[in-house]
Amino acid sequence: MNSNHFDAIVVGSGISGGWAAKEFCEKGLKTLVLERGRQVEHLKDYPTMTAAPWDMPHRNRIPLDQKVADPIVNRCYAYKEDTQHFFVKDSDHPYVQEKPFDWIRGYQVGGKSLIWARQTQRWSRFEFERPSRDGYGIEWPITYSDLAPWYSYVERFVGISGSKEGLETLPDGEFLPAWELNCMEKELKKRIKDAYPERNPIQGRCAHLTQPNEVHLQQGRGQCMARNQCYRGCPFGGYFSSNSATLPFAAKTGNLTLRPDSVVHSIIWDEQKGKATGVRVIDRLTHEVTEYFAKVIFLNAACLNTNLILLNSTSSRFPNGMGNDSGLLGKYILFHNYRGSLGGKIDGPLDKRDYGRRPTSMMMPNFRNVTHQEMDFQGGYMPFFNASRSSWGNSPNAPFGEEFKRVNSQPGPWQVWMMMQGETIPKETNQVSLSLDQKDAWGIPLLSIRVDYDENDEKMLQDFFEEGRKMIESAGCKDIYTSDSRQAPGLDIHEMGGVRMGKDPKTSLLNGFNQMHLAPNVFVTDGASMTSAGVQNPSLTYMALTARAVDYAVKELKKGTIK
């Protein structure tokens, strides 16, 4: 036990796990980080980061036979020949779909922080208040004011580009300069704002260094070059990832032990001591079983795998999964509704065009059910949109030969495109559980997923179509179309819940510091801890929750309340 003993164990090395590692190590705790995937070192293990399309065998396309073999991961927007090494193939870690669910995963050091879309907005007070206010969820045990200083703490280290807007629905943060809107987007913003004064189109906020500060230079990161090849791993460190920032900062303290290829089977519960004492690990390659021990354990394996680990952590005290006296473990799984998009043509300056590969787009903070319940659906949504000029490309009406070259050398008409990010409502029926008869290659039960849309999602989608059409029509758009992708839940890659925070152990698994009610030295700070889905992107909130929870855990360790 002595050789395998640490002060803290962190399960997972992605966005939240990297933050847990950094914070524990900087506070002087000997910290073990367990990652089920392979080692990936910043720069060294980004094999395609500077490759041109012609450097790849299939010109950055996935061959048809691979698409047929792995249909789920092939539906992900970021999965291509240049990024496929950072994604889990369907057959590598199967799961049971009781209802269609596209589970997109990244098993490597850094996790999905290497392949995330990097959109980072603070939640507003309304995200924390709305579920209990409008009766579609339990009360959050924290408020925006509890998290605000931790948002600032995280933002300064990560580097978030954005503009100060003074909006209560989308609080300002510690920003680097925002990316510039193109000429048509500036006009689009003005026209929508004139028609809808209460709606606020703004430039998107993203984890990209537009103007690095000293702390970013200390990380060895440089300015974003707007290549929009982020999912390959960035040679400049222009976007934030665990590999480029938090894990190196943890390592330089001398307190970090990073163990890749470590599949966590379960958390160990000591019946005599009445507490969790460590984790049981299966080597990914050799299948050798090892146990590691620590005073405090942080679960950051990404939402659904964190649920899986806790469900598989059974004992005489917790026969249905660790901390699961309430029977709610694995229930109230959440996601974001991305099904709706729309667009149209718009008259714009033909002597100008958009250029570059800016890593973000315009967005509009939620304007539905903000201060009170007003619609026939619950929750809210935010649109993301942009204006651009494109050539014929792959249009079915594109010409051939010399004419094809000629028309593609000139930009086409201005177009506007808009998509929705909709809040889904906590439902007990949206849940995950362990398969009773199927196991993975390491002998762990497969995760069975039963998550679906409901009438609320459909009503929200139709409202987006109606309001989105009105907004771009008021801005001068013509030939407007709407599109329902009908994609399965999961493809948004914003899965949340199952180990939710709350004030009452009867209705939640975690308290206001992400600490398990019934296993006080176990913390969950990834997406599994979320009480509701909110409207904004969740990753910044995971990072802030993690930094806050580590600060609390270390203080409790010093006081002796966690032993």
Per-residue pLDDT reduced to its tens digit, 116-129: 999 999 999 999 99
Per-residue pLDDT at 342 = 98
What are the pLDDT digits (tens) for 277-311? 999 999 999 999 999 999 999 999 999 999 999 99
Compute the distance between CA of residue 491 and CA of residue 425 in angstroms, rounded to an integer.
17
Taking the C-alpha atoms of 538, 543, 548 and 551 in order, what is their torsion angle to the nearest 10 degrees? Answer: 160
Same domain as 305, residue 229 = yes
Same domain as 504, residue 385 = no
Beta bridge partners of 264: 281
Same domain as 227, residue 191 = no
Percentage of residues in the chain having pLDDT higher than 90? 94
Q: Is 79 within a domain?
A: no
Per-residue pLDDT at 396 = 67
Beta bridge partners of 346: 477
Average pLDDT, the chain: 96
Mean pLDDT of 220-240: 96
Per-residue pLDDT at 405 = 84
**In whole angstroms, how large is the CA radius of gyration of the chain?**
23
What are the pLDDT digits (tens) for 460-480? 999 999 999 999 999 999 999
Banded pLDDT at 97 (limits 50, 70, 90): very high
Per-residue pLDDT at 393 = 62
Compute the distance between CA of residue 542 and CA of residue 511 in angstroms, rounded to an integer.
15
Q: Which of 488, 503, 535 is the last residue of a domain?
A: 488
Per-residue pLDDT at 23 = 98
Same domain as 500, residue 557 = yes
Compute the distance between CA of residue 419 and CA of residue 115 in angstroms, rounded to an integer.
20
Q: Is 103 within a domain?
A: no
Query: Considering the entire predicted model, what is its pTM?
Result: 0.97
Q: Is 533 within a domain?
A: yes
47-53 CB contacts, 8 Å cutoff, 24+ apart: 47/85, 48/81, 48/82, 48/83, 48/85, 48/232, 49/229, 49/232, 49/233, 49/234, 49/235, 50/235, 51/82, 51/232
Give the type of residue at 237. G
* pLDDT above 70 for 394: no
Q: Is 89 within a domain?
A: no
The enclosing domain of 562 has a CATH number of 3.50.50.60
Same domain as 391, residue 291 = no
Same domain as 246, residue 299 = yes
Compute the distance between CA of residue 207 and CA of residue 170 in angstroms, rounded to an integer.
16
Mean pLDDT of 386-401: 78
Per-residue pLDDT at 397 = 74
Same domain as 294, residue 212 = yes
- What residues contact residue 229 under an 8 Å CB cut-off, 6+ apart? 49, 82
Per-residue pLDDT at 412 = 84
Same domain as 534, residue 549 = yes
Q: Is 231 within a domain?
A: yes
What are the pLDDT digits (tens) for 416-470? 999 999 999 999 999 999 999 999 999 999 999 999 999 999 999 999 999 999 9
Banded pLDDT at 395 (limits 50, 70, 90): low
Per-residue pLDDT at 398 = 74
Per-residue pLDDT at 235 = 96
What are the pLDDT digits (tens) for 173-201? 999 999 999 999 999 999 999 999 999 99
Q: Which of 439, 469, 488 is the last residue of a domain?
A: 488
Lowest mean pLDDT among 53-57, 378-382, 542-546: 53-57
Q: Which of 435, 468, 488 is the last residue of a domain?
A: 488
Report how far apart, in Å, the C-alpha atoms of 407 and of each of 234, 389, 475 are: 33, 13, 27
Which uninterrupted H or E stretch holds 134? helix 125-134
Picking from 447, 439, 442, the residue whose alpha carbon sits closest to that of residue 498 is 447
Going by their DSSP bridges, the two strands 160-161 and 175-176 should be labelled as parallel
Strands annotated E in 81-204: 96-97, 160-161, 175-176, 202-203
Q: Is 65 within a domain?
A: no
Compute the distance between CA of residue 534 and CA of residue 122 in angstroms, rounded to an integer.
10
Compute the distance between CA of residue 244 and CA of residue 236 in angstroms, rounded to an integer.
9
Q: Which domain holds residue 547?
A: 1-54+108-162+205-334+495-563
Same domain as 137, residue 234 = yes
What are the pLDDT digits (tens) for 259-274? 999 999 999 999 999 9
Q: Is 7 within a domain?
A: yes
Per-residue pLDDT at 259 = 98
Per-residue pLDDT at 104 = 98
Same domain as 302, residue 210 = yes
Lowest mean pLDDT among 356-360, 391-395, 430-434, 533-537: 391-395
The enclosing domain of 192 has a CATH number of 3.30.410
Same domain as 255, residue 125 = yes
Select the more confidently predicted residue: 33 or 395.
Answer: 33
* pLDDT above 80 for 141: yes
Same domain as 215, residue 139 = yes
Compute the distance between CA of residue 357 and CA of residue 350 in angstroms, rounded to an integer.
20
* pLDDT above 80 for 1: no
Q: Is 98 within a domain?
A: no
Q: How many domains are contained in the chain?
A: 2
